[in-house]
Amino acid sequence: MAAADGELPRIAVVGAGIFARTQYIPRLREIAHLVVLKSIWSRTKESAEAAVELARDFAPEIECRWGDAGLEEIMGDASIAGVAVVLAGQVQVELSLKMLKAGKHVIQATMEAETALSVYNSFPNQFPHKPIWALAENYRFEPAFVESRKLMSDIGDMMNIQVIIEGSMNSSNPYFNSSWRRNFVGGFILDMGVHFIAGLRMLVGSEIATVSSISRHVDKALPPPDNICSLFQLENGCAGVFVFAVNSRSPKILWRVDGTKGTVQIERGVDSGKHGYQVLFSSEAGQCQTTFYPFCGVNEELKAFVHDIVQANKDGDHKAEWRSSYVEGARDVAVLEAMLESSEKQGALVQVKKF
């Protein structure tokens, strides 16, 4: 389950879809001095081979794995310390738990959380220390949110919060026809929304206690629901609105917190050809400061995962950094699930489940 002292840790990528090819492989290339990509798995040999060739330039000894036999080979390979699970939401938790039971550290996105956490926490003590289960694709690692959280102490008491998401999930988006996102309750609202909730929770530093929501199915080309409007209240008493349209003619994504002494706003944008976030900070003196942070969250969370593996190798009982803790993912999902539950009850107030 661990690399020998002085060796770079070895990991496998389980999944060879769009996100694995366009995000994980390029990001792993950037941190090839920190980690060795040992193998890539897919359901079919052809898909696995295509993904492996994309990584061959920085992982010349990479191995191709496919099918059930390929999964067994990864689980049985003592040289592989960690696994990045990049699969459809309906199957990734089950497969992640298999990898964890085999003693592998795991990083994955989050969909289903409560039952998975219960299973993970009930693992027998078959290893000296429980493998790390880390959360991927979450905005807590984006520098824009890291730095904006530091600014929150300068805006005084929070008065109100706005989260406005006007997405662009149309036929030109490579994920538009993703079958698994269309075949589970919550659809794109849940799949996309967990990231925006993660950003909100990272920014405000207070848990969401209650929600009251109305959702609708407007765009019939999308699975229901495709619009949701929610009023939420933090545990500290501050209220806010979360407005999310999966597809809009005028895409906009922003988080804004107004305080008694200033305002912090994060907005998705482009600067000098780079995609990222524009952070606006308005101070009590009326001065306005803007800073642009390019996207690099996937890179940062992978580096954190590798660091956690190395530390676990050194001191044994090492937990994932709090930002990538799977419990945080469960809390993100719980907010969205409460919003969807409230909508089913015609906007009734719903308490967000605690973890």
CATH number at residue 71: 3.40.50.720
Residue 2: per-residue pLDDT: 47
Residues 180 and 254 in one domain: yes
Percent of the chain surpassing pLDDT 70: 90
Residues 121 and 167 in one domain: no
Q: Higher pLDDT residue, 298 or 152? A: 152
Residues 182 and 124 in one domain: no
Asked whether the predicted pLDDT for residue 171 surpasses 80, the reply is yes
Q: Is 303 a member of any domain? A: no
The whole model's pTM is what? Answer: 0.88
* 294-315 mean pLDDT: 90
Residues 165 and 217 in one domain: yes
Residues 341 and 205 in one domain: yes
Residues 210 and 341 in one domain: yes
Among residues 71, 103, 131, the one where a domain terminates is: 131
Residue 263: per-residue pLDDT: 98
Residues 233 and 258 in one domain: yes
* 101-119 mean pLDDT: 77
Among residues 94, 109, 131, the one where a domain terminates is: 131
* 272-299 mean pLDDT: 94
pLDDT tens figures, 11-66: 999 999 988 999 999 999 999 999 999 999 999 999 999 999 999 999 999 999 99
pLDDT tens figures, 249-266: 999 999 999 999 999 999
Residues 100 and 174 in one domain: no
Residue 1: per-residue pLDDT: 43
Q: Is 320 a member of any domain? A: no
Residue 172: per-residue pLDDT: 87
CA–CA dist 332, 210 (Å, integer): 13
Among residues 67, 99, 131, the one where a domain terminates is: 131
pLDDT averaged over every residue in the chain: 90
Q: Is 16 a member of any domain? A: yes
Asked whether the predicted pLDDT for residue 112 surpasses 70, the reply is no
Residue 178: per-residue pLDDT: 72
Q: Is 107 a member of any domain? A: yes
Residues 121 and 148 in one domain: no
Residues 277 and 190 in one domain: yes
Q: Is 326 a member of any domain? A: no
CATH number at residue 259: 3.30.360.10
Q: Is 1 a member of any domain? A: no
* 274-289 mean pLDDT: 94
Residue 69: per-residue pLDDT: 97
Which domain does 172 fall in, by range? 140-295+332-351
pLDDT tens figures, 187-199: 889 889 999 999 9
Kindly indicate the confidence band of residue 123, based on its pLDDT and cuts at 50, 70 and 90.
low
Q: Is 152 a member of any domain? A: yes
Kindly indicate the confidence band of residue 6, based on its pLDDT and cuts at 50, 70 and 90.
low
Q: Higher pLDDT residue, 133 or 241? A: 241
Residues 80 and 113 in one domain: yes
Residues 218 and 283 in one domain: yes
Write out the chain in H/E/C secondary structure.
CCCCCCCCCEEEEECCCHHHHHHHHHHHHHCCCCCEEEEEEECCHHHHHHHHHHHCCCCCCCEEEEHHHHHHHHHHCCCEEEEEECCCHHHHHHHHHHHHHCCCEEEECCCCCHHHHHHHHCCCCCCCCCCCEEECCCHHHCHHHHHHHHHHHHCCCEEEEEEEEEEECCCCCCCCCCCHHHCCCCHHHHHHHHHHHHHHHHHHCCCEEEEEEEEECCCCCCCCCCEEEEEEEECCCCEEEEEEECEEEEEEEEEEEEECCCEEEEEEEEECCEEEEEEEEECCCCCEEEEEEECCHHHHHHHHHHHHHHHHHHHCCCCCCHHHEHHHHHHHHHHHHHHHHHHHCCCCCEECCCC
Residue 5: per-residue pLDDT: 47
Count up the domains in the chain and report the number.
Answer: 2
Q: Is 46 a member of any domain? A: yes
Asked whether the predicted pLDDT for residue 334 surpasses 80, the reply is yes
